[in-house]
Structure 1
Amino acid sequence: MRIVEIREKTCPISSPIRNAYIDFSKMTLSLVAVITDVIRDGKPVVGYGFNSNGRYGQGNLMRERFIPRVLEADPESLVNADGSNLDPHKIWDCMFRNEKPGGHGERSVAMGTIDMAVWDAVAKIANKPLYQHLADEYGDGKPNREVFVYAAGGYYYPGKDDTMLQNEMRSYLERGYSVVKMKIGGASLAEDQRRIESVLSILGDGQRLCVDANGRFDMDTAVAYAKALDQYNLFWYEEAGDPLDYELQAVLRSYYRNPMATGENLFSMQDARNLIRYGGMRADRDWLQFDCALSYGLVEYLRTLDMLREHGWSPSRCIPHGGHQMSLNIAAGLGLGGNESYPDLFQPFGGFPDGVEVKDSRIVMPELPGIGFEGKSNLISVMQELSA
Structure 2
Amino acid sequence: MKITAIREATKPIKSDIRNAYIDFSKMTLSLVAVVTDVIRDGKPVIGYGFNSNGRYGQGSLIRERFAPRILEASPESLGDDSGNNLDPHKIWTTMMTNEKPGGHGERSVAVGTIDMAVWDAVAKIEDKPLYQLLAERYGDGRPKRKVFVYAAGGYYWPGQGIEGLEREMRSYLDRGYSVVKMKIGGASLSEDCKRIEAVLRLLGPGQKLAVDANGRFDLKTAVEYAKALSNYGLFWYEEAGDPLDYALQAELAQHYAGPMATGENLFSMQDARNLIRYGGMRPDRDWLQFDCALSYGLVEYLRTLEMLKEHGWSTSRCIPHGGHQMSLAIAAGLGLGGNESYPDLFQPYGGFPDGVKVENSYVTLPELPGIGFEGKADLYREMSALAS
Name the TM-score class by shorter chain.
Answer: over 0.9
CA distance in 1, matches of 2:284, 2:227: 21
**Displacement of 1:336 after TM fit?**
0.1
What is the match of residue 258 of structure 2?
258
Q: Match of 1:380?
A: 380
Q: Specify the alignment match of 2:189 in structure 1.
A: 189
The unaligned stretches of length 5 or more in structure 1 are none
Mapped contact 2:178–2:206 kept (Cα < 8 A): no
CA distance in 1 between counterparts of 2:151 and 2:52 reads: 16
1:163 Cα shift? Answer: 0.8
Counterpart in the other structure of 2:233: 233
**After the TM superposition, which parts of structure 1 deviate over 2 Å for at least 4 consecutive aligned residues?**
204-207
Task: Write the deviation string for residues 77-124 of structure 1: whole angstroms up to 9, x where unpaired.
Answer: 000011111000000000000000001100000000000000000000
Q: 1:219: how far off?
A: 0.3
**Matching residue of 1:202:** 202
Q: State the match for 1:90 in structure 2.
A: 90
Q: Report the CA distance between 1:47 and its aligned residue.
A: 0.1
Aligned mates of 1:163, 1:17 — CA distance in 2: 16
CA distance in 2, matches of 1:366, 1:192: 38
In the superposition, the TM-score normalised over structure 1's length comes to 0.99
Measure, in 2, the Cα distance between the counterparts of 1:149 and 1:207.
13
Q: Which residue does 1:337 correspond to in 2? A: 337
Would you say 1:279 and 2:270 are equivalent positions? no
Give a deviation string over 1:111-146, Cα, whole Å, max 9, x none.
Answer: 000000000000000000000000000011000000
CA contact (8 A) 2:178 2:207 kept: no
Partner of 1:209: helix, strand, or coil? Answer: strand
Give the deviation of 1:207 after TM superposition: 5.9
The equivalent residue for 2:350 is: 350
Letter in 2 for 1:39: I
2:213 matched to 1:217? no
1:93 is matched by which residue type in structure 2?
Answer: T
Cα deviations by residue, 1:11-68 (Å, 9 ceiling, x for unpaired): 0000000000000000000000000000011100000000000101000001110000
Q: Identical aligned pairs, as a percentage?
A: 78
Q: Does 1:30 align with 2:30?
A: yes
In structure 1, distance between residues paired with 2:88 and 2:206: 41
- Contact residue 206 and residue 233 of structure 1 kept, 8 A: no
Aligned-partner Cα distance in 2 for 1:169–1:238: 18
Gap runs ≥5 in structure 2: none
1:97-116 matches, within 5 Å, as: 97-116=97-116
Superposition pairs for residues 1-388 of structure 1, below 5 Å? 1-204=1-204, 208-388=208-388
Superposition deviation, residue 273 in structure 1: 0.1
SS in 2 for 1:283: coil
Contact 1:207 1:233 in 2 (8 A): no
Which stretch shifts more, 334-343 or 198-207? Answer: 198-207
Name the CA distance, whole Å, in 2 between partners of 1:206 and 1:101. Answer: 45
Instruction: Report the secondary structure of 1:255's partner residue.
Output: coil
Contact 1:206 1:234 in 2 (8 A): no
| Structure 1 position 204, deviation (Å) | 4.3
Q: CA RMSD in A?
A: 0.7
